[in-house]
Structure 1
Amino acid sequence: MAKLSPRAARIKMAAETAFGPRGLTQLAAAAGVSKQMMSFIVTGAKPVTDDVYRRVAEALLTEAGRMTKAAEKIETLAGKMFAELE
Structure 2
Amino acid sequence: MVETKLLMIDDEESFLATMEKRLSFRDIVVNSSSSGPEGLKILDENPDMDVVLLDVKMPEMDGIEVLRRIKAAHPLVEVIMLT
Q: TM-score range by the shorter chain?
A: under 0.3
More helix, by proportion: 1
More strand, by proportion: 2
| TM score, norm. by length of structure 2 | 0.22
Which structure: larger Rg?
Answer: 1
